[in-house]
């Protein structure tokens, strides 16, 4: 279980990470060694005028800015 969680945290491949977390969840449910009492919630609000934003998994509060270099707002030059 520790090995699966460690591998999930180390990979940058989102699909592989999802597979490993699903495996971790299956092990957790099967063995039920502990009941998690707290799970942080990251709520992210953004204007719909912002373009170039791609929703992705948030692993930390800072990860919401992982592709900030691609964000833009269309403006009109007069």
Paired tokens of 49: 């005028």
CB 20 within 8 A of CB 11: yes
Distance CA 6, CA 10 (A): 6
Instruction: For 2-38, write each residue's pLDDT tens digit.
Output: 999 999 999 999 999 999 999 999 988 888 776 777 7
Q: Is the pTM of this model over 0.85?
A: no
Structure tokens at 41: 């919630």
Q: Which of 1-5, 56-60, 69-73 has the lowest mean pLDDT?
A: 56-60
Give me Rg for the CA atoms of the chain: 18
């Amino acid at each position: 279980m520790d090995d699966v969680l460690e591998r999930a945290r180390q990979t940058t491949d989102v699909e592989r990470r999802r597979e490993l977390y699903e495996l971790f969840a299956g092990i957790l449910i099967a063995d039920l060694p502990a009941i998690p009492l707290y799970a942080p919630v990251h709520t992210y609000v953004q204007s719909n005028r912002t373009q170039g934003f791609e929703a992705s998994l948030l692993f930390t509060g800072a990860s919401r800015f992982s592709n900030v270099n691609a964000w833009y707002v269309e403006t009109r030059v007069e």
